[in-house]
C-alpha cells in the first residue's frame, strides 16, 4: 500500500486535495476511519439534526467541563464518515470576511491575505443565485462545489431581513461577495435537493480516477525516519499496517484529530510528549494550542400565527416531507431551512462584523427537540472573534482514546461584553415593526432577563458551540516558535509532512468554517504540487464608511 501522497482524513480539505492532486496525475491514498455517507439522514438537507447525533457518523467528542459555563461538557461533533464534517454539518456556506484573511497574513501566514485566497474561493465554487440577486463578479461558476440559496418561501425570512433594515442596519444581496455586513439571504452547500458535501463535490469524482483510492482504517501515527515523514501507521481489522508515501504525508484529520496525530507522532510540546512516554521528533510548543470556536445561543420567540415549520413537527408531516424528498428531491426536505442571515458589528470602532445570525423559522434545538411552546422561530447569535483560547492534548498514548478538548470558553471579560451585546441587539431586532404580526412573546432568554447578571446566567446555562473548532496547528512564519506549519502548510521541523485543514487557521474566520476549510485544501494543493499560486485578486471589500463612529 503506497502512493505519492497519503492524505489522512476524507473531510472538507482532504477531499479537495485528493481531487486536485489526482487530477494532476499524482497517485493518492486517502485514509478514513469512518464509513459510507449513503442514506437519507446525510443526503437530505432538512435531516441535518440526525447525523450530527448519530455515533455511526460522529467521533462523539465532548469538551472537558467548561468552568465559565457552569462546568458543562459541550458536544464537539466531528464527522467520522466520507466527507468528514461536511457530511454532518448544517450546510451553511460562508467564505469569511476579507479582513479575516488579511489578519492571517499579518500574523505570519504570508500569501494567505484576502487577495491571495479569493481566487481559490472562486476556483472551488459553482455558484447558483437562484434568481435572488447576488454578486456574480466575486463568485465562481465552474468549480466542483455547488453553492445555492434556499427558496425563502416562509414569510419569516423576509421579516428578519426587513426588521434588520428597520433597525438601521445594512442589507446585502451576497455576504460572500463584496459586502458581508448586513441582512440578506443565506447560502447553502445544497445542489438539486441534496447535501453537496466535500465527498459529493470532490472525493467521488477523484475516486473515479485510477490515481486515487480510499483506505479504511484508524490512523495511529505518522512514520518518521531521519526527520522525514515516510508513511502512516493504521489500525485495520485489529492489525497494524503502514501506508507508505513516496512524496508526502498530509494530515487533514480536523482541528481535533490532526493535532492528536502530530502529538502521537512525537511532534508537539516536548514536556507533554515526555509525560506520555512519546519520543520527541520535533519540539513544537504550538501543537494543540490556540484552539478557538464560535459560541452561540438560540434566541427564541413564540409565534402569534401558525406560519412556522412547527406545523410539520409531527410524524405524519415528516413522513410526507421525507417521501417527497426521496422521490423528487424537492420540498421542505431539500433545504437546511437556514435561508436568511446577517453579519453586524457589535459597537462603533469595530471595523468589520463581529456578530453572526442564522435565522430559522422554527424554535428547535440542534438535537432535534422542538420548543415546548409550539409555533416559534429563532436566531442563532454569537460573537465571531472570542479572545478565549483553549487546547487539544492527549489523555494517553493510546491512539484509540479520544483527546482531551478544553475550549476555555468565556474566559475573558471581553467575551461577556460581546455576548451581552448580541442578546440586546437581537431583542431590538425582534421588536421591529416587521415582526409585529408574528411575535407573541420571547421564549428565551425571556423578557424578564434584563440586567448583565441575568443575561450572564442565561449565557452560562444555554450557550452552545456552533461547531467551528480551529487553530490547533497554527500557520505562521517558520521563525515563529508557536507556529506549527509554515505558509506552505509544511510542518516546521519535519520534512515531507504537511497539515491542511482548519487546524492551520491563525485566527477563526467570520461565519461557518466549511468554506474556508475547503479553500485551504484547494490552495494547499498548489503548494504541494509546487505550482505558482493563482494570481492575487485586487477586489476591495466593502467596509462601513462610518465604522469608527457608528455601530450601524
Pairing of strands 145-149, 182-185: unpaired
Contact 11, 85 (CB under 8 A): yes
What would the mean pLDDT of 489-506 be, rounded to a whole number? 98
The DSSP annotation for 106-157 comes to HTT-TT-SHHHHHHHHHHHEEE--TTS---GGGS-BSSSEEEEE----SHHH
Domain limits of the chain? 1-46+79-134+187-288+391-396+469-533, 151-185+295-383+410-462
Q: What is the pLDDT of residues 309-324, one digit of tens each?
A: 999 988 889 999 999 9
Query: Rounded distance, CA 162 to CA 154, Å?
Result: 14
Q: What is the CA radius of gyration of the chain?
A: 22
Query: Rounded distance, CA 49 to CA 333, Å?
Result: 12
Determine the 3-state secondary structure of 228 from DSSP: strand
Q: Which segments within 168-227 are labelled E, that is strand?
A: 182-185, 187-188, 190-191, 194-195, 212-216, 218-225
Could you tell me which residues come within 8 angstroms of residue 163 by beta carbon, excluding any fewer than 6 positions away?
183, 429, 430, 432, 433, 434, 435
What is the distance of C-alpha 509 from the center of its chain? Answer: 9
**CATH topology match: 1-46+79-134+187-288+391-396+469-533 vs 151-185+295-383+410-462:** no
200: left (phi over 0), alpha (psi -120 to 50) or beta: alpha
Query: Rounded distance, CA 91 to CA 83, Å?
Result: 12
Q: What is the pLDDT of residue 167?
A: 98
Q: What is the pLDDT of residues 16-61, one digit of tens each?
A: 999 999 999 999 999 999 999 998 899 999 998 889 888 899 999 9
Could you tell me which residues come within 8 angstroms of residue 476 by beta carbon, excluding any fewer than 6 positions away?
107, 108, 109, 482, 483, 485, 486, 487, 506
Task: Tally Cβ neighbours within 10 Å of residue 234.
Answer: 23
Could you tell me which residues come within 8 angstroms of residue 42 by beta carbon, excluding any fewer than 6 positions away?
51, 57, 81, 83, 87, 88, 195, 197
Q: Is the pTM of this model over 0.75?
A: yes
Q: What is the pLDDT of residues 83-108, one digit of tens each?
A: 999 999 999 999 999 999 999 999 99
* Segment among 24-28, 365-369, 467-471, 519-523 with least mean pLDDT: 365-369
What would the mean pLDDT of 373-384 be, rounded to a whole number? 94
Contact 276, 394 (CB under 8 A): yes
Q: What is the pLDDT of residues 136-148, one digit of tens each?
A: 999 999 999 999 9
Task: Tally Cβ neighbours within 10 Å of residue 436.
Answer: 11
Catalytic machinery residues: 468
Query: Rounded distance, CA 58 to CA 87, Å?
Result: 10
CA distance from start to end of the chain = 58
CATH superfamily assigned to domain 1-46+79-134+187-288+391-396+469-533? FAD/NAD(P)-binding domain (3.50.50.60)
151-185+295-383+410-462 topology per CATH: Cholesterol Oxidase; domain 2 (3.30.410)
| Backbone dihedral angles phi then psi of residue 455, each to the nearest 5 degrees | -65, -40
Contact 256, 59 (CB under 8 A): yes
Please give the annotated binding residues, written as ranges. Answer: 81, 89-92
Amino acid at each position: 500500500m503506497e502512493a505519492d501522497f497519503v492524505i489522512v482524513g476524507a473531510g472538507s480539505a482532504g477531499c479537495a486535495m485528493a481531487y486536485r492532486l489526482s487530477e494532476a496525475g499524482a497517485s493518492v491514498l486517502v485514509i478514513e476511519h469512518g464509513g459510507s455517507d449513503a442514506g437519507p439522514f446525510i443526503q437530505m438537507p432538512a435531516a441535518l439534526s440526525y447525523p450530527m447525533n448519530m455515533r455511526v457518523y460522529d467521533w462523539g467528542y465532548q469538551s472537558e467541563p467548561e468552568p465559565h459555563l457552569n462546568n458543562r461538557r459541550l458536544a464537539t461533533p466531528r464527522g467520522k464518515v466520507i466527507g468528514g464534517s461536511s457530511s454532518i454539518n448544517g450546510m451553511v456556506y460562508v467564505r469569511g470576511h476579507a479582513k479575516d484573511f488579511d489578519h492571517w497574513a499579518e500574523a505570519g501566514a504570508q500569501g494567505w491575505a484576502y487577495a491571495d485566497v479569493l481566487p481559490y474561493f472562486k476556483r472551488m465554487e459553482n455558484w447558483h443565485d437562484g434568481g435572488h440577486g447576488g454578486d456574480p463578479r466575486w463568485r465562481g461558476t465552474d468549480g466542483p462545489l455547488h453553492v445555492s440559496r434556499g427558496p425563502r418561501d416562509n414569510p419569516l425570512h423576509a421579516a428578519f431581513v426587513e426588521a434588520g433594515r428597520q433597525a438601521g442596519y445594512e442589507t446585502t444581496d451576497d455576504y460572500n461577495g463584496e459586502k458581508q455586513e448586513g441582512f440578506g439571504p443565506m447560502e447553502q452547500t445544497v445542489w438539486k435537493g441534496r447535501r453537496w458535501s466535500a465527498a459529493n463535490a470532490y472525493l467521488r469524482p477523484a475516486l473515479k480516477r485510477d490515481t486515487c483510492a480510499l483506505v479504511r482504517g484508524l490512523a495511529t501515527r505518522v512514520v518518521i525516519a531521519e526527520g522525514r515523514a515516510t508513511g502512516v501507521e493504521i489500525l485495520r481489522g485489529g492489525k497494524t499496517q503502514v501506508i507508505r508515501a513516496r512524496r508526502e504525508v498530509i494530515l487533514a484529520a480536523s482541528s481535533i484529530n490532526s493535532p492528536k496525530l502530530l502529538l502521537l507522532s512525537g511532534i508537539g510540546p516536548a514536556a507533554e510528549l515526555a509525560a506520555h512516554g512519546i519520543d520527541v521528533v520535533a519540539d513544537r510548543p504550538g501543537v494543540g494550542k490556540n484552539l478557538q470556536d464560535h459560541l452561540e445561543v438560540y434566541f427564541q420567540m413564540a409565534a402569534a400565527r401558525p406560519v412556522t415549520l412547527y406545523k410539520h413537527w409531527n410524524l405524519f408531516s415528516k413522513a410526507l416531507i421525507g417521501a417527497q424528498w426521496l422521490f423528487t428531491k424537492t420540498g421542505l426536505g431539500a433545504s437546511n431551512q437556514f435561508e436568511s442571515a446577517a453579519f453586524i458589528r457589535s459597537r462603533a470602532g469595530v471595523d468589520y462584523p463581529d456578530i453572526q445570525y442564522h435565522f430559522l423559522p422554527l424554535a428547535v434545538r440542534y438535537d432535534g427537540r422542538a420548543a415546548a411552546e409550539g409555533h416559534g422561530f429563532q436566531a442563532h447569535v454569537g460573537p465571531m472573534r472570542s479572545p478565549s483560547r483553549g487546547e487539544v492534548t492527549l489523555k494517553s498514548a493510546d491512539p484509540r482514546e479520544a483527546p482531551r478538548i478544553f475550549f476555555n470558553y468565556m474566559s475573558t471579560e471581553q467575551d461577556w461584553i460581546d455576548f451581552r451585546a448580541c442578546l440586546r441587539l437581537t431583542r431590538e431586532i425582534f421588536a421591529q415593526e416587521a415582526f409585529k404580526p408574528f411575535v407573541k412573546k420571547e421564549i428565551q432568554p425571556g423578557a424578564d432577563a434584563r440586567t448583565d447578571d441575568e443575561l450572564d446566567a442565561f449565557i452560562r446555562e444555554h450557550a452552545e458551540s456552533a461547531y467551528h473548532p480551529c487553530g490547533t496547528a497554527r500557520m505562521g512564519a517558520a521563525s515563529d516558535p508557536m507556529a506549527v506549519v509554515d505558509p506552505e502548510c509544511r510542518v516546521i521541523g519535519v520534512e515531507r509532512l504537511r497539515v491542511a485543514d482548519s487546524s492551520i487557521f491563525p485566527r477563526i474566520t467570520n461565519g461557518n468554517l466549511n468554506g474556508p476549510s475547503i479553500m485551504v485544501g484547494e490552495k494547499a494543493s498548489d503548494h504541494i504540487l509546487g505550482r505558482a499560486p493563482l494570481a492575487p485578486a485586487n477586489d476591495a471589500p466593502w467596509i462601513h464608511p462610518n465604522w469608527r463612529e457608528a455601530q450601524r
